[in-house]
Structure 1
Amino acid sequence: MSTRTEQRLPGGLPAEPPTDELWEAVLAADEHTATSVVLRALDDGVPAEDVLLGMIAPVQRRVGQEWAANRINVAQEHAATAINERAVAALSLHPAARTTPTRGGITVACVDGEWHALPARLLAEVLKLRGWHVDYLGAQVPAPHLITHLHRTDADAVALSSSIATRLPTAHAAITACQAVGVPVLVGGAAFGPDGRYARLLGADAWAPDAGTAADRLAGGPLCRPHPDHQQIDDLPHLADQEYTVVARSSTSLVRTALAALEDAFPAMRTYDGPQRERTAEDLAHIVEFLATALYVDDEELFTGFITWTAQILTARGVPARSLPPTLDILARELKDFPRATRILQHGATALGPFHRSTARNHV
């Protein structure tokens, strides 16, 4: 159960966060108005946690949805995120958000390579409101630095956040390192799957789908301390076949080979200028990176989810997704001696069928 106290307006009606007003300010890149909307909501009696989770968090989700649908560009998405981060900072200084720690300590951090820090910041602020002493370390925290911090503090748990699935191997290393020094780990974020399947696979002590649930879980009692003899390889015995290691280490050559083969399949690519070639190489690198991650967790659904999402992103931008199936075929030929990799690529090609047929119809 949440520990927050519901605030009510005169007449007994609950105070509602002005989410639409915040969205309009964020969309207009109006930091002053956005911050004012948040502070006014607090002044009007909306609980600080409701502002964080019922106002700022939904607006940030909408930012991602609008970018995916190509209704806002990357610069607008970055500006909107920065404004939301500024709104959280302003909220944290408001008298309505000031609390005295009455519970233990939680360290909140993003795994190394994860730059989406806002979800972790929202959790940190919710935990403060719930009475925890919080050390918020921010984005991209290398595991050795995280462990150094834990040695200097007395954290009851670590809350690790990751939004991008390709950070799962790094998250696994961080989880194992924290547990090795006796600190249990709660994880959250889209990287761990909508049902937390990768959290369980990687040996995390707890998983939560959102900041409110995470705070409830931590308030419900201490997480189990990990066994000191736990080894990372114990979680993923399939890694013994070395497929993940080979694909991860040969990613540069795989991208180079795929790019050359695609130019043969699509001669128009030979006229690409420098920036176009660079973007294409980046797209190929993402495909290889997600393939490697799918090998790490031995789950083709992770890859098919990424490749169909990529097709949707391309389609929303008016770019035909017809180059994706040949790309997967090229990679499958290069990795023909790796059964798990070829199986994952075949599943990805099958999942792209509807996009490929739709593209073909549009070009008849």
Structure 2
Amino acid sequence: MSGHPDPVVRCTALLRDAVLRGDEYTAVDVVVDALHDGIDAETVLLEVIGVVQASVGEDWAANRISVAQEHAATAINDRVIGTLALSTPRSPGGRGRITVACVDGEWHALPARLLAEVLRLRGFDVDYLGAQVPSAHLITHLHRTGPDAVALSSSIATRLPTAHATISACQAAGVPVIVGGAAFGPDGRYARLLAADAWAPDARAAAETLAGGLPVPARPHAQPTDDLPHLSDQEFTLVDRNAPGLVAAVVEGLSGRIPEMAHYDDAQLLRTAEDVRHIVDFLAVALYTGDPELFTGFLDWTASVLSARSVPPHVLPPVLDLLGEELRDFPRASDLLAVAAAARDGDPHGAGRPA
């Protein structure tokens, strides 16, 4: 076995160690040294910084690090990207102008930041707008700057309805939209469902697609039901608007079914309400897309996260039951909850409790 590890693997290990220790200065040194050692900037962005950031998220889900550590690591990685950008010669540009933004309500900005820097390295002129960009302000920016395309990023599936409205608004302004991020599915299924002009699984694929150019949208439209006729039943709208009331009803009902809730302190009750809200939000987005897998997949992910935290697995079924009682007059919601309950009944490990 060689005593000289792959330099990219070595840099990744060093950066991961630095960000998990909260050592920003060492993290910056690792990246600068990697550039000096001949690793190209795009590789450092995607195969070092990007890989480390993905591992940080996995560590949080597995309960190996806290939320605070995850946030600190992300902040350091963001500043490291800034250092890399300042340490790399500027591209002459001229390959087109791209606006890169996150969907309104989407705080996970690092994937979009990585894309923006890759595009700059490849000669695009880039307007990077960052996290949580309100659609109205994004459209104003498009009218002012006239980009060739918008690259829209979202990691959380509950932002898909907002993403849909933003895609439609950009297209109505005559600007094509390429989307990416975990929210759109590993195969881009939700990008197609929401009529985006293009989808890319990663930054390199996005850059290659944009290099080929995107045509001006042929069918600007403004109504979600143009793409999703099932929304005419209003179930998504009613569940989404009534989410606070649904959460309150479920939490109140749980107190009568789960004896230990009588001993919950205020913080535990707040966490319970927050987690029930997540369940309601994912139910709503499954109603929006018409895809039950969005809801059942979220419950499976929740089960794995709670299992890593040694949380008892006996509360989620009552949550689904209580939601079913509240939504018994909603046929699609009732069907979704029945599918989810059946999946949980077939899971020998249960799904954990949302608290």
TM-score by length of structure 1 reads 0.92
Q: CA deviation at 1:97?
A: 4.4
**Conserved in 1, the CA contact under 8 Å of 2:168 and 2:221?**
no
Out of 133, 136, 140, the residue aligned to residue 144 of structure 1 is 136
Establish whether residue 263 from structure 1 lines up as the match of residue 282 from structure 2: no
Match of 2:227 among 235, 246, 262: 235
Q: Does 1:47 align with 2:62?
A: no
Choose from 90, 102, 112 the match for 1:98.
90
How far apart are residue 26 of structure 1 and its match?
1.0
Which has the higher mean CA deviation after the structures are superposed, 260-269 or 133-142? 260-269
- Please give the alpha-carbon distance, in whole angstroms, between the structure 2 residues aligned to 1:316 and 1:350: 23
Which runs of structure 2 are paired with 1:179-258 in the superposition (5 Å)? 179-229=171-221, 231-258=223-250
CA–CA separation in structure 2 for the residues paired with 1:228 and 1:188: 20
Q: Residue 80 of structure 2 aligns with which residue?
A: 87
Unaligned runs of 5+ in 2: none
Normalising by structure 2, we get a TM-score of: 0.94
User: 2:350 and 2:222 mapped to 1: Cα distance?
Assistant: 49
Q: Which residue pairs with 2:120 in the alignment?
A: 128
Counterpart code for 1:37: V
Q: Where does structure 1 differ by over 4 angstroms across 4 or more consecutive aligned residues?
A: none
SS of corresponding position for 2:17: helix
Q: Deviations over 1:276-330 (max 9, x none)?
A: 1100000000000110000000000000000111111111101012111110111
Q: Percent identity?
A: 62
State the distance in 1 between where 2:207 and 2:92 align. Answer: 16
- Paired position in structure 1 for 2:297: 305
2:79 is the alignment partner of 1:77: no
How far is the alpha carbon of 1:271 from its aligned partner?
A: 1.6
Cα separation, partners in 2 of 1:221 and 1:351, compared to 1, 3 Å:
same
How far apart in 1 are the matches of 2:218 and 2:196? 9
- Given residue 47 of structure 2, which amino acid in structure 1 is its aligned partner? G
Task: Give the Cα separation in 1 of the matches to 2:136 and 2:222.
Answer: 18
What one-letter code is carried by the residue in structure 2 that aligns with 1:303?
F
**CA contact under 8 A between 1:192 and 1:199: conserved in structure 2?**
yes
User: 1:347 maps to which residue?
Assistant: 339
**CA offset at residue 35 of structure 1?**
0.8
- Residues 1:334 and 1:28: Cα distance change in structure 2 (over 3 Å): same
Separation (CA, whole Å) in 2 of partners of 1:269 and 1:339: 31
| 1:159 to 2:151 alignment | yes
- Residue by residue over 1:233-270, the C-alpha shift from the partner in whole angstroms, topping out at 9 and shown as x without a partner, is 20110000010011011111111110011111112102
CA deviation digits over 1:179-203, x for unaligned, max 9? Answer: 0010000000000011111100001
Aligned residues: 346
Work out the CA distance in 2 between the residues paired with 1:354 and 1:34.
45
1:178/1:184 contact within 8 Å kept: yes
In 2: Cα distance, 1:34 partner to 1:332 partner: 49
What one-letter code is carried by the residue in structure 2 that aligns with 1:216? E
- Residue 337 of structure 1 and its aligned partner are, at CA, apart by 1.2
Letter in 1 for 2:14: E
- Aligned-residue Cα RMSD (Å) equals 1.6
Cα distance, 1:39–1:354 mapped onto 2, change above 3 Å: farther
CA 1:243–1:32: 2 relative to 1, 3 Å:
same
Distance 1:34 1:304 in 2: 38
Q: Deviations over 1:65-96 (max 9, x none)?
A: 000000001000001100110110100101x3
The residue type paired with residue 24 of structure 1 is D
CA distance in 1, matches of 2:238, 2:296: 21
- State the alpha-carbon separation in 2 of the partners of residues 84 and 241 from structure 1: 44
Q: Secondary structure at the match of 2:201?
A: coil
Looking at structure 2, the residues matched to 93 and 185 of structure 1 have their Cα atoms a distance apart, in angstroms, of: 28
Q: Which amino acid aligns with 2:314?
A: R
- The letter for the 2-side match of 1:156 is D
CA distance in 2, matches of 1:79, 1:326: 36
Q: Tell me what 1:29 maps to.
A: 22
2:65 partner letter: I
The answer to whether the Cα contact below 8 Å between 1:308 and 1:351 also exists between their aligned partners in 2 is no
Q: In the alignment, is the contact (CA less than 8 A) between 1:180 and 1:226 conserved in 2?
A: no
